[in-house]
């Protein structure tokens, strides 16, 4: 594979990863909504498990695109970014601050994805505390994209950043509002609750 192809792969994967990360973050807010119409005027609703699965799959795709982006950049060798810079920030010779922002975003996303896969073992409170880090990963990814992204200087590249910023700000506002009114843990069904309600109706 030629150097030019690797560079194109890294550019495309980086852009796709940024879009997927933005979409996954917004989908995470949608996944916590109580109901979600499938179409305007429809009576059917998106089930919660489907929305959560969509959020999870988008996050996994974003992590995969990030890995492709990082590996292609390092293998390409066009810029001074080595394997150490992938995990340790401020070690790259090329735009060290902006690359460090990307490194921190990558590390944060991988931690969030890993803890989400181990959610049952971690417990709800621990998982939720780590999951909030995604709101720190996105601005780091945006900073990396704007300062070292080859396509960020184009009109459509800037449009992607603007639309993504608006979407994430709205999502963050909705999530913060929901967090203030939400209970401390996941809803727990009381044993026999359904039967008790049914018995009450029969009386």
Q: What's the pLDDT score for residue 160?
A: 93
Report d(CA 100, CA 89) in Å as an integer.
4
DSSP letter (8 states) at residue 158: H
88: left (phi over 0), alpha (psi -120 to 50) or beta: beta
Q: What's the pLDDT score for residue 149?
A: 87
By the 8 A CB rule, do 32 and 178 touch? yes
Q: What's the pLDDT score for residue 190?
A: 44
Torsions phi, psi of 45, nearest 5? -130, 150
Q: What's the pLDDT score for residue 181?
A: 67
Q: What's the pLDDT score for residue 186?
A: 52
Report d(CA 92, CA 80) in Å as an integer.
6
Residue 93 burial (10 A CB sphere; 0-12, 13-18, 19+): exposed
By the 8 A CB rule, do 10 and 69 touch? yes
Low-confidence ranges of the chain (pLDDT < 70): 1-3, 33-46, 179, 181-203
By the 8 A CB rule, do 138 and 22 touch? yes
Report d(CA 85, CA 92) in Å as an integer.
5
The 3-state DSSP class for residue 127 equals helix
- Measured in whole angstroms, the distance separating CA 190 from the mean position of its chain's CA atoms is 33
The sign one gets for the Cα dihedral 89, 93, 98, 103 is: negative
Q: What is the pLDDT of residues 135-188, one digit of tens each?
A: 888 999 999 999 998 888 899 999 999 999 999 898 888 877 776 765 555 544
Report d(CA 37, CA 172) in Å as an integer.
21
Cα–Cα separations (whole angstroms), residue 54 to 29, 58, 81, 94, 161: 11, 6, 33, 35, 22
């Amino acid at each position: 594979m030629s150097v030019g192809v690797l560079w194109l792969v890294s550019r495309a994967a980086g852009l796709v990863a940024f879009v997927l990360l933005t979409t996954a973050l917004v989908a995470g807010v949608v996944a916590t909504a109580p109901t979600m119409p499938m179409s305007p005027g429809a009576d059917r609703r998106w089930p919660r498990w489907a929305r959560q699965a969509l959020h999870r799959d988008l996050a996994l795709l974003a992590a995969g695109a990030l890995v492709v982006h990082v590996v292609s950049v390092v293998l390409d060798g066009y810029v001074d970014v080595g394997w150490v810079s992938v995990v340790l920030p401020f070690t790259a010779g090329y735009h060290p601050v902006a690359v460090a922002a990307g490194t921190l975003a990558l590390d944060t996303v991988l931690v969030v994805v890993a803890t989400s896969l181990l959610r049952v073992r971690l417990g709800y409170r621990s998982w939720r505390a780590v999951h909030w880090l995604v709101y720190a990963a996105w601005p780091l990814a945006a900073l990396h994209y704007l300062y070292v992204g080859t396509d960020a200087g184009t009109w459509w590249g800037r449009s992607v950043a603007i639309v993504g910023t608006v979407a994430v700000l709205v999502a963050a506002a909705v999530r913060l509002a929901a967090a203030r009114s939400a209970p401390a843990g996941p809803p727990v069904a009381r044993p026999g609750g359904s039967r008790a309600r049914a018995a009450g109706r029969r009386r």
